[in-house]
């Protein structure tokens, strides 16, 4: 075997030497490197040499390689170059690559890495990522050519190489011929078009793409996007923009790609934020795997965390004591709420807490007069201006209680941060900010992200889905001074949920109170296009739900990546206990950072926003019967969020006692 390989390597080396002789000579060490690259043709790498090498402009790659581990923009330099040059070389190559179609989707620039190779005599290169590139010495080429994660199939690698060779005169194939390589078509494999464009026959492949390629070993959201996703990653927006789409349509994936794309074409810090505490941690982990080289450019932080940190930097108090807030509210409710007009109108403490959190403070209403006329979207209960005076009185009591206890609540933190920004804006705004799950922000939260980001091109991207709103209340973007002017986009292909799960989700009447507010087209789960067929939904009915759920968990073919989702914290705590006693390893959702684990995740639907699991269990739990429309609607939206966390399997319990 070895003999065969050596013979092949030798042939490839001689071919490369001949081709190199016909062009301006390279310094000896560079020639050695290019020959080595060319020999790797035998392991699936295609080499393209910059026609200007060794006098390549400093901001261009000397060599580009396409192979199993992706695409490499290689700079052969005597010394480590300035980061601006290696970044420019990356962007130059990325622009050539933009949207190469493959059977798995459009290739993204996550498949591309910049590698700087310096001569061996320089000694071992200062190893590792400098942020923009990987620096290695000539004798360390194995680090990028051998092993590592495989991201391209052989046909993809060749297709990409041909595309590069055919899209610029600057890159010349070495050791292979972009025009004459025969198409490779094996069983179940898609071949390469013989056309000189070097592209796949995309039209023929479109049909196959969803069914076959998505299931294939290389359907990876980091490396391949669909055409509408990739278009939005690269689109230039002249002001704030918004992306909507039903659950599982790749909104977060798109947002992460866009952050990476913008990070590589700008300076300064970028921000991914949301009101959810655990989502930034999960998104950060995904981003690291997508764009490790620019990971330090993007801050992943939930909005309250950002506001607290900002206030502290400005020397202002920002501590929030959850327990004190809860006690303050309870005291006021018992003193004036429970026996007063509020309880008569609506005997729910939580409802009036939401009225303060989501309407009065959430909208930053400073006077009774403002509250009298404020819209109360999605809140139900048509409160007359006269009745609102009672609510206002109750709110003032709550504020007095907080101030006597010397505490701020979460809304205070956002409002104080907004005030502080009004007094003295950020010295340097974020280059770009993405706000995920935007439908659940309060109006003050929305104003705050707008104040942080501004209106400049590409600076603010709002990502959300009105059908998945799980917190009360609502707003119009215009109330926060944000104008989209047509910069609203919709995604429709669902990559997460198998068809059966989507069908289950469509059973819920999850009214979208957002899209019709902002004038965009209302796209609901029913109009989503599931890419993955199959899936399984089990509706269990009976008396002993604990026994049934535990048995169903034990019966899973693949027990990894399972979650039990509940409506309330109490129910989550109880299920944690039940599962532990049944011998399961349990991981509370609020501490989860997105890493795969064998433990069963347990938490509320609120904590599960933005996450996904192979199997999801939704046990029945007692819920108050409601005659209020908005509560029923909220329940339906929560149920939709819960079901759409499942990729393959959903178990829905219903306790039926005699």
Ligand X SMILES: Nc1ncnc2c1ncn2[C@@H]1O[C@H](COP(=O)(O)OP(=O)(O)OP(=O)(O)O)[C@@H](O)[C@H]1O
- Contacting residues toward ligand X, per CB under 6 A: 105, 219, 221, 224-226, 229, 245, 247-253, 465, 468, 495-496, 610, 612, 644
The least CB distance from residue 624 to ligand X, in Å, is 27
* Lookup result for tokens 């993955």: 532
Report the residue number, 12 or 435, with the smaller CB distance to ligand X: 435
Torsion of CA 71, 73, 74, 77, to 10 degrees: -170
The least CB distance from residue 222 to ligand X, in Å, is 8
The least CB distance from residue 225 to ligand X, in Å, is 4
The least CB distance from residue 497 to ligand X, in Å, is 8
**CA 236/CA 257 separation, integer angstroms:** 14
The least CB distance from residue 437 to ligand X, in Å, is 7
Backbone Cα Rg of the chain = 28
Report the residue number, 61 or 610, with the smaller CB distance to ligand X: 610
To the question of whether residue 102 is assigned a binding role by annotation, the answer is no
To the question of whether residue 248 is assigned a binding role by annotation, the answer is yes
Q: Residue 554, class by beta-carbon neighbours within 10 Å (0-12 exposed, 13-18 middle, 19+ buried)?
A: exposed
**CA 16/CA 243 separation, integer angstroms:** 48
Report the residue number, 375 or 635, with the smaller CB distance to ligand X: 635
Report the residue number, 442 or 644, with the smaller CB distance to ligand X: 644
Per DSSP, what are the bridge partners of residue 172? 49
Buried-state track 174-211, b at ≥16 Cβ within 10 A, e below 16:
bbbebeebeeeeeeeebebbeeeebbbeeeebeeebbe
Kind and range of the H or E run holding 565:
strand 562-566
Report the first-to-last Cα separation within the chain, whole angstroms. 73
The least CB distance from residue 231 to ligand X, in Å, is 12
Report the residue number, 113 or 647, with the smaller CB distance to ligand X: 647
The least CB distance from residue 106 to ligand X, in Å, is 8
The least CB distance from residue 495 to ligand X, in Å, is 3
Token reading at 33: 């490197």
Token reading at 218: 């290389």
Report the residue number, 494 or 545, with the smaller CB distance to ligand X: 494
3-state class of 101 per DSSP?
strand
Kind and range of the H or E run holding 420:
helix 410-423
| Nearest residue to 71 via CA among 139, 137, 165, 203 | 165
The least CB distance from residue 86 to ligand X, in Å, is 28
**CA 150/CA 154 separation, integer angstroms:** 10
To the question of whether residue 251 is assigned a binding role by annotation, the answer is yes
Cis peptide before 54 (omega within 30 of 0): yes
Report the residue number, 50 or 611, with the smaller CB distance to ligand X: 611
To the question of whether residue 635 is assigned a binding role by annotation, the answer is no
Query: What is the separation of C-alpha 110 from the centre of its chain, rounded to a whole number of angstroms?
Result: 14
Query: What is the separation of C-alpha 160 from the centre of its chain, rounded to a whole number of angstroms?
Result: 26
Report the residue number, 30 or 469, with the smaller CB distance to ligand X: 469
Report the residue number, 224 or 430, with the smaller CB distance to ligand X: 224
To the question of whether residue 99 is assigned a binding role by annotation, the answer is no
Report the residue number, 496 or 637, with the smaller CB distance to ligand X: 496
Residues 6+ apart with CB under 8 A from 131: 83, 293, 294, 296
Report the residue number, 33 or 528, with the smaller CB distance to ligand X: 528
SS3 labels along 293-337: HHHHHEEECCHHHHHHHHHHHCCCCCCECHHHHHHHHHHHHHHHH
Residue pair 26/32 in contact by the 8 Å Cβ criterion = no
Report the residue number, 596 or 624, with the smaller CB distance to ligand X: 596
Q: Which residue is nearest to ligand X (CB)?
A: 250
The least CB distance from residue 466 to ligand X, in Å, is 11
Residue pair 29/138 in contact by the 8 Å Cβ criterion = yes
To the question of whether residue 249 is assigned a binding role by annotation, the answer is yes
3-state class of 587 per DSSP?
strand
Report the residue number, 140 or 612, with the smaller CB distance to ligand X: 612
3-state class of 82 per DSSP?
coil
**CA 33/CA 72 separation, integer angstroms:** 14
The least CB distance from residue 274 to ligand X, in Å, is 10
To the question of whether residue 422 is assigned a binding role by annotation, the answer is no
3-state class of 243 per DSSP?
strand
| Nearest residue to 465 via CA among 490, 444, 485, 445 | 490
Residue pair 49/17 in contact by the 8 Å Cβ criterion = no
The least CB distance from residue 290 to ligand X, in Å, is 10
| CA angle centred on 368, ends 363 and 370, rounded to 5° | 50
Residues 6+ apart with CB under 8 A from 344: none
Report the residue number, 53 or 502, with the smaller CB distance to ligand X: 502
The least CB distance from residue 178 to ligand X, in Å, is 28
- Packing angle between helix 83-97 and helix 154-167, nearest 10 degrees? 100
Residue pair 103/60 in contact by the 8 Å Cβ criterion = no
To the question of whether residue 155 is assigned a binding role by annotation, the answer is no
The least CB distance from residue 280 to ligand X, in Å, is 13
Residues 6+ apart with CB under 8 A from 509: 633, 636
Q: Which residues are annotated as a binding site?
A: 245-252
Q: Which residues are annotated as a binding site for ATP?
A: 245-252
């Amino acid at each position: 075997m070895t003999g065969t390989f050596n013979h092949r390597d030798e042939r490839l080396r001689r071919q490369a030497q001949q081709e190199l002789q016909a062009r301006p000579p390279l310094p000896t060490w560079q020639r050695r490197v290019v020959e080595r690259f060319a020999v790797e043709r035998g392991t699936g790498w295609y080499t393209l040499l910059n026609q200007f090498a060794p006098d390549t402009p400093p901001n261009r790659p000397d060599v580009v390689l396409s192979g199993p581990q992706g695409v490499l923009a290689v700079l052969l330099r005597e010394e480590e170059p300035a980061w601006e040059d290696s970044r420019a070389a990356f962007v130059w190559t990325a622009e050539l690559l933009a949207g190469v179609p493959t059977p798995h989707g459009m290739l993204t620039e996550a498949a591309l890495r910049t590698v700087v190779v310096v001569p061996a005599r320089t000694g071992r290169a200062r190893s590792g990522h400098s942020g923009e590139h990987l620096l290695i010495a000539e004798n360390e080429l194995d680090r990028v050519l051998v092993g590592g994660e495989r991201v391209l199939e052989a046909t993809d690698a060749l297709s990409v190489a041909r595309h590069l060779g055919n899209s610029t005169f600057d890159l010349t194939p070495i050791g292979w011929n972009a025009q004459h390589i025969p198409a490779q078509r094996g069983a179940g494999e898609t071949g390469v078009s013989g056309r000189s464009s070097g592209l796949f026959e995309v039209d023929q492949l479109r049909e196959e793409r969803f069914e076959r390629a998505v299931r294939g070993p290389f359907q990876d959201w980091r490396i391949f996007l669909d055409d509408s996703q990739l278009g939005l990653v690269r689109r230039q927006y002249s002001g704030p923009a918004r992306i909507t789409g039903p659950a599982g349509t790749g909104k977060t994936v798109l947002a992460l790609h866009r952050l990476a794309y913008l990070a590589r074409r700008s300076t300064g810090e970028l921000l991914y934020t949301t009101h959810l505490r655990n989502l930034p941690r999960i998104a950060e982990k995904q981003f690291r795997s997508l764009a490790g080289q620019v990971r330090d450019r993007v801050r992943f932080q939930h909005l309250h965390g950002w506001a607290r940190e900002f206030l502290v930097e400005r020397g202002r108090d920002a501590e929030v004591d959850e327990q004190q807030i809860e006690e303050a509210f309870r005291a006021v409710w018992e003193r004036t709420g429970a026996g007063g007009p509020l309880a008569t109108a609506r005997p729910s403490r939580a409802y009036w807490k939401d009225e303060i959190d989501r309407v009065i403070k959430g909208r930053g209403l400073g006077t009774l007069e403002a509250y009298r006329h404020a819209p109360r979207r999605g809140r139900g209960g048509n409160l007359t201006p006269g009745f609102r005076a009672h609510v206002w009185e109750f709110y003032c009591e709550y504020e007095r209680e907080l101030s006597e206890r010397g505490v701020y609540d979460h809304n205070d933190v956002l409002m104080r941060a907004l005030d502080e920004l009004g007094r003295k804006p950020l010295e340097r705004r974020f280059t770009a900010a993405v706000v995920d799950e935007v439908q659940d922000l309060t109006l003050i939260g929305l104003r705050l992200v707008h104040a942080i980001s501004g209106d400049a091109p590409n600076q603010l991207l709002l990502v959300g889905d009105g059908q998945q709103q799980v917190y009360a209340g609502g707003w119009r973007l215009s109330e926060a001074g944000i104008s989209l002017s047509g910069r609203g986009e919709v995604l429709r292909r669902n990559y997460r949920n198998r068809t059966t799960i989507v069908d289950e989700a469509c059973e819920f009447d999850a009214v979208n109170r957002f899209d019709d507010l902002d004038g965009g087209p209302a796209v609901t789960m029913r109009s989503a296009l599931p890419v993955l067929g199959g899936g399984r939904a089990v509706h269990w009915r009976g008396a002993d739900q604990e026994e049934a759920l535990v048995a169903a968990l034990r019966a899973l073919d693949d027990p990894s990546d399972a979650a039990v989702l509940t409506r309330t914290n109490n129910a989550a705590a109880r299920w944690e206990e039940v599962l532990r006693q049944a011998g399961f390893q349990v991981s509370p959702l609020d501490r989860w950072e997105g890493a795969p684990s064998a433990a069963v995740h347990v938490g509320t639907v609120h904590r599960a926003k933005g996450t996904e699991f192979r199997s999801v269990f939704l046990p029945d739990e007692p819920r108050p019967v409601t005659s209020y429309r908005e509560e029923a609607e909220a329940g339906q939206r929560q149920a939709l969020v819960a079901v759409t966390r499942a990729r393959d399997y959903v178990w829905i319990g219903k306790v039926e006692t005699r």
